[in-house]
Every structure is written in structure tokens, then in C-alpha cells.
Amino acid sequence: MDIYSGKFAIIIIIVLVSILTIQIMTNSNNTSKLIDSETCEIYVMDSQINAKKYLNEFDQKCLDFKSLNP
């Protein structure tokens, strides 16, 4: 197969897109969004390294609940 042919380029593009799709699908399983119960801040728990990464976002329902229960 000649590398300058159109079929070769289409095959390479399909392979690269499928690899990217697989990586995105497997990466979404490694992280999950959680809410810190004390600060109501949303963080992501990475299961591969078992670490928290805070997103500087707060859950409004949690903040409302905390304001009702001092």
C-alpha cells in the first residue's frame, strides 16, 4: 500500500480517532466528581494516583443546606 494513497490516509485517521475515543472513555472511568462535606467544594478523585484535585467550584445545594443548619 502506497503511503501517498487516499485509502492509507483514511485508515490512519480512523485508527487515530478510535484510539482517542478509547482514551477518553477509559479516562472518564478513572475520575469522579465528589463534594467535600466540610467546605462544599467540588473535587475530582483520581483513582490511578488516589489524590484529590479541587476545582474551585462549590455545590449550591450543599451551601444552602449548611446555611440552614448552623
Name the region of 69 (left: φ>0; alpha: ψ -120 to 50; beta: rest): beta
Q: How far apart are CA 49 and CA 35, in angstroms?
A: 19
Asked if residues 58 and 33 have their Cβ atoms less than 8 Å apart, the reply is no
Predicted model pTM = 0.48
Q: How far apart are CA 44 and CA 34, in angstroms?
A: 6
pLDDT in tens, 4-60: 778 888 999 999 999 998 887 776 655 667 888 888 899 887 777 878 888 888 989
> 57 — phi, psi (to 5°)?
-125, 145
Residue showing cell 485517521: 13
Task: Answer yes or no: is pLDDT of 2 > 90.
Answer: no
